[in-house]
Amino acid sequence: MSIHDPATGKLRFAIVPAAYVFLLRESHAGGDAATEVLLQLRRGTGYMDEHWAAAGAGHVERGETAEDAARRECREEIAVDDLDLRFATAMQRTARDLPIDERVDFFFTARGWSGEPRIVEPAKCADLRWFRLDDLPDPVVPHELVVLEGLRAGTLPPLTHFGF
């Protein structure tokens, strides 16, 4: 989306902010300790359907902080609250000539919350499952996969980029 700058007469792009939450837990299945992430299978959304994605994610609304948006999306999408949010990275993202314009995504992790995660919006989510960070499903939304791989490797910088 572009907006007209009346001062210069030029078109400028509008940045769309979004917040993502990766719920993480430690698993000891089979005797091996591993970090697991809760992912949802997108369906019926019109964007990246049939891809695995963060269990809670969405646009930041006007007047809302990224942390507030992350908490709201988790309540709305997977029925969890009281998240122990930890900032993971901010991502500057572009899709160049596609309908999605410039984005700034705020990624958080949470290892503590109240409530049992469940599918709240079945028209938009076909499945909700825990996956080991070292054994992710295919396909994962590409820009989210960058963050998940950084979390797995322990090398996630505070600022990441995608699409440049």
Give the closest residue to 20 by CA, choosing from 110, 127, 131: 110
According to DSSP H, which parts of 47-89 are helical? 66-78
Domain count, the chain: 1
- The pTM assigned to this predicted structure is 0.91
Helix count (H) and strand count (E) of the chain? 2, 10
Q: What is the pLDDT of residue 124?
A: 96
Residue 124 lies in a domain: yes
Average pLDDT over residues 146-163: 96
Q: How confident is the model at residue 16 (pLDDT cuts 50, 70, 90)?
A: confident
Residue 137 lies in a domain: yes
Residue 117 host element (H or E)? none
Residue 4 lies in a domain: no
Q: For 24-82, what is each residue's pLDDT tens digit?
A: 999 987 778 899 999 999 999 999 999 999 999 999 999 999 999 999 999 999 999 99
Residue 22 lies in a domain: yes
- Kindly write down the DSSP assignment for every residue of 11-72, as one continuous string: EEEPPEEEEEEEEEEEE-GGG--EEEEEEEEE-SSSSSTTSEEESEEEEPPTT--HHHHHHH
Q: Distance of CA 137 to CAs 8, 47, 71, 88, 128, Å?
A: 47, 18, 25, 21, 12
- Domain residues for 80? 14-162
Rounded Cα distance between 12 and 120, Å, is 37
Residue 157 lies in a domain: yes
CATH number at residue 99: 3.90.79.10
Q: How confident is the model at residue 113 (pLDDT cuts 50, 70, 90)?
A: very high
Give the closest residue to 70 by CA, choosing from 50, 87, 52, 48: 87
Residue 139 lies in a domain: yes
Residue 88 lies in a domain: yes
Stronger pLDDT, 22 or 164, i.e. the higher one: 22
Q: For 48-59, what is each residue's pLDDT tens digit?
A: 999 999 999 999
Stronger pLDDT, 83 or 6, i.e. the higher one: 83
Question: Percent of the chain beyond pLDDT 70?
Answer: 91
Q: What is the pLDDT of residue 22?
A: 98
The tokens for 92 are: 């500057």
Residue 1 lies in a domain: no
Question: Percent of the chain beyond pLDDT 90?
Answer: 78
